[in-house]
Amino acid sequence: MLFDSILLALKRLVTPQFRSMLWKSLGLTVLMLVLAWLGLRTLFYTTLAPWLATFFPDMPAWFHWFGVVGTFLFALVFGIGLATALAFLIAPLTALVGSFFIDEAADIIEKKNYRTDKPGKAMPLGRALLIAFRFLGLSLLGNAFVLLCLLFAPGLHMIAFLVINGYLLGREYFEFAAVRLRPEKQAKQFYQKNALTVFLGGLAIAVFLSIPLLNLLTPLFAAALMVHLHKKLSHAKA
C-alpha cells in the first residue's frame, strides 16, 4: 500500500498535468528561500555584526593585512553558516508551499486514479492557511532542534531530521488530504488510527527532502503521496 503510493506519487511528478504546478511550486519555493536568505543576511549585518565589532577595536596600520584575511575568513564562515541554515529552512517552507497546491494536486489525482470515488472538497482558504502557518511554526521549532543537533551532536542530526520532518510533513499532508473528504475532527481521528503508516510515508517525504535540488519538488511529491495513501487507507477500511 505505502510502496504503491510512493511509486504513484513519483510517476505523477512527470505527467503533463503536474507540469504547470511544478513550475509554480518551484518558483514559490525558490522565492521564499531567496527572501529567507535576504532576511537572515540583513538580520546578521544589522544586529549581530555590529555587536561582534565591539570586540575588535581598530587595529594598527601594520596589522591591516590581518584584518583583510580575517574579513575574508569571516565572510566565508558566514556564507557556509547561512547556506546551512537555508538547508534546514527548506523543510518549514515546504510545509507552507504545499498548502497552496495540495487541492489542485488532489483534484488531478482523484480524476485520473479514483474516478468512481466521491470527489473531494477544498478546505476554506482561511482555515487552510491557519493550519499551514501552525505547521510552519512547529516545523521551524523542529528544525531548529535539528540544527542544534548538527552543532552539538553531529552523529544524530540526520536521524533527527528524518524523524522530525517525517512526522510533521507526513501528518500535515495526510490531514490536508483527509479533510477534503471528511470533517476536520474525523480527519484527525482517521490520522490517529493510521499514524504509523502515515509516519512511514512521512519518512519517504523526509528522504526526498534530504536530496539537494530534488527537494525543491517536495511539496508536489508529498501532496501526491498522501492523497494516494489516504485513498488506499480509506478503501482498505471500507
Q: ∠ CA(162), CA(167), CA(9), 5° rounding? A: 80
Which DSSP string do the residues of 117-174 spell out, in sequence order? Answer: SPPP-PPPHHHHHHHHHHHHHHHHHHHHHHHHHHHH-GGGHHHHHHHHHHHHHHHHHH
Residue type, 31: L
Q: Binning pLDDT at 50, 70 and 90, where does residue 225 land?
A: very high
117 alpha-carbon distance from chain centroid: 29
Which pLDDT score is estimated for 64?
Answer: 45
Residues 40 and 1: their CA atoms lie apart, in Å, by 42
Q: What is the mean pLDDT of the chain?
A: 77
Q: ∠ CA(40), CA(48), CA(80), 5° rounding? A: 50
Residue with cell 535576504: 38
Backbone angles phi, psi at 102, to 5 degrees: -65, -35
pLDDT at 149 over 50: yes
Q: Which of left, alpha, beta for 213 (phi over 0: left; psi -120 to 50: alpha)?
A: left
24: exposed, middle or buried (Cβ count in 10 Å: 0-12, 13-18, 19+): middle
**Tell me, what DSSP letter sits at residue 60?**
P
Which pLDDT score is estimated for 59?
Answer: 47
Residue type, 122: A
Which pLDDT score is estimated for 82?
Answer: 54
Secondary structure element (H or E) that encloses residue 99, with its range: none
Q: Are the C-beta atoms of 74 and 81 separated by less than 8 Å? A: no
* Domain residue ranges of the chain, discontinuous segments joined by +: 2-29+93-237
Share of the chain above pLDDT 90, in %: 14
Q: Are the C-beta atoms of 222 and 94 separated by less than 8 Å? A: yes
pLDDT digits (tens, 9 = 90+) for 106-148: 888 888 888 888 888 877 777 777 777 787 788 778 878 887 8
Which pLDDT score is estimated for 238?
Answer: 57
Q: Are the C-beta atoms of 206 and 162 separated by less than 8 Å? A: yes
pLDDT digits (tens, 9 = 90+) for 44-78: 667 765 665 565 555 444 444 444 444 444 555 55
Contacts 24+ apart (CB under 8 A), 46-54: none
DSSP percent split of the chain into helix, strand, coil, nearest 5: 85, 0, 15
End-to-end CA distance of the chain: give it in Å, rounded.
15
